[in-house]
Copies of this chain bind each other. A is one copy, B any other.
């Protein structure tokens, strides 16, 4: 039913030098499982942090990294009822979070973290932890959705209700940020994008950004954002950095504003003054990707809104180390590896 050999990129220890291609057996799906021939895998910054040993210091080796894949169902377990052979699917990264509240113990069943990752010819998804890929997207595009798009979607459309005309501040132009920008544009939000590059801000404007702030030339980007909103502040900030940056984020917020913590590219600490926090009734929420039902709703929205993921660069299956290194260069959009 499937090829006898399963190529994978496997970590035998931390560091790029200990990541190598190996061949193994194609796994057998259990009664409720899907066997999936992967087509494309996208990278997230945390994949580099895992390979480097920064994020999960107690990882058990060997370990196949990365979390986001699209592929074709090539076999199904005997009890599977949600999918059929031939369908194109995406894996639900937090596999035990179907809807509603998250599981009480976190990341016990998370792809590319507590569970094995996606850098293989063949992978297994539980049938309750997969969704159909949007038909309007090609494989390379679809592979970008499981973490980056769902994180932006969950912060903007599930954890809160976007109201057209409201302002949102989006930090940077990486994978999550550009999905956030595309959703913001589709929702009628006025998006303010920050970047250290005027060229990237210009590209962001073409994607629909209402305003751009170069935080290199305007380090007090919080004050700049406040000015752009006639002193009222922005309704929602997507925090990607942490540390002092989060302090500015808070300062940029309007009354009843919301700060969604969805990235930690910089510091590991968050700190802010308490008095304006209370007076303005600020909400700060930490987020962690999202549930399967949100993934399904998002895919439906991506179809209806004709959103096309922004791809920075595509690599071949043999170029995984180069792809991971490219993550450090501040890509504009997503990095994808084809697996066929």
A residues touching B (Cβ–Cβ < 8 Å)? Answer: 30-32, 79, 98-107, 128, 157, 161, 163-166, 186-190, 232, 242, 246, 254-256, 261-262, 264, 267-275, 277-288, 291, 293, 297, 300-305
Shortest Cβ distance from residue A128 to the other chain B in the assembled complex, whole angstroms = 8
Distance in Å: Cβ of A292 to nearest Cβ of chain B: 9
Given A31-B30, A242-B274, A272-B270, residue A293 in contact with residue B101 (CB < 8 A): yes
Chain B CB within 10 Å — which of A101, A166, A293 has the most?
A: A101
Chain B residues with Cβ below 8 Å from A262 are 278
In the complex formed, the residue of B with least CB distance to A108 is: B81
Whether A164 contacts B305 by the Cβ 8 Å rule is yes
Q: Knowing A106-B279, A163-B157, A286-B278 touch, does A301 contact B188 (C-beta < 8 A)?
A: yes
- CB-defined contacts of A300 to chain B, threshold 8 Å: 163-166
Distance between Cα atoms of A190 and B304 in the complex (Å): 8
For the complex of A and B, list the 4 residue pairs with the smallest distance between their C-beta atoms, beginning with the closest. Answer: A99-B100, A165-B300, A271-B271, A165-B304
A297-B98 contact given A273-B269, A286-B282, CB 8 Å threshold = no
A243, closest chain B residue (CB): B274
A106 contacts B285, C-beta separation under 8 Å: no
Please tell me if the beta carbons of B293 and A288 are within 8 angstroms of each other in the complex. Answer: no
Measured between beta carbons, the chain B residues less than 8 angstroms from A189 are 304
Measured CB to CB, the closest approach of chain B to A209, in angstroms, equals 14
Please determine whether B261 and A293 come into contact, CB atoms closer than 8 angstroms. Answer: no
Shortest distance between the CB of A23 and any CB in chain B (Å): 27
Contact B304 A164 (CB under 8 A): yes
Residue of A101, A102, A274, A285 ringed by the most chain B CB atoms within 10 A: A274
A-B contact pairs, 15 of them (CB 8 A): A30-B31, A30-B79, A31-B32, A102-B256, A106-B279, A106-B280, A128-B128, A163-B301, A164-B305, A165-B297, A246-B274, A264-B274, A269-B271, A270-B271, A283-B284
B102 near A281 (CB under 8 angstroms)?
A: yes
Contact A107 B303, beta carbon cutoff 8 Å: no
Whether A101 pairs with B271 at a CB distance below 8 angstroms is: no
Q: A273-B269, A282-B285 are in contact. Are A100 and B102 (CB under 8 A)?
A: no
By the criterion CB–CB under 8 Å, are B269 and A272 in contact? yes
Q: Are B273 and A165 in contact (CB under 8 A)?
A: no
**Do A285 and B281 have beta carbons less than 8 Å apart?**
yes
A293 to B163, CA, bound (A): 12
Residues of B within 8 A of A157 (CB): 163
A271 to chain B: which residues have CB within 8 Å?
269-272
For A161, list chain B residues within 8 Å (CB): 161
- With the chains together, A270 CA to B288 CA distance in Å? 22
Q: How far is the CA of A263 from the CA of B38 in the complex (A)?
A: 48
Inter-chain CA distance A281–B151, complex, in Å, is 12
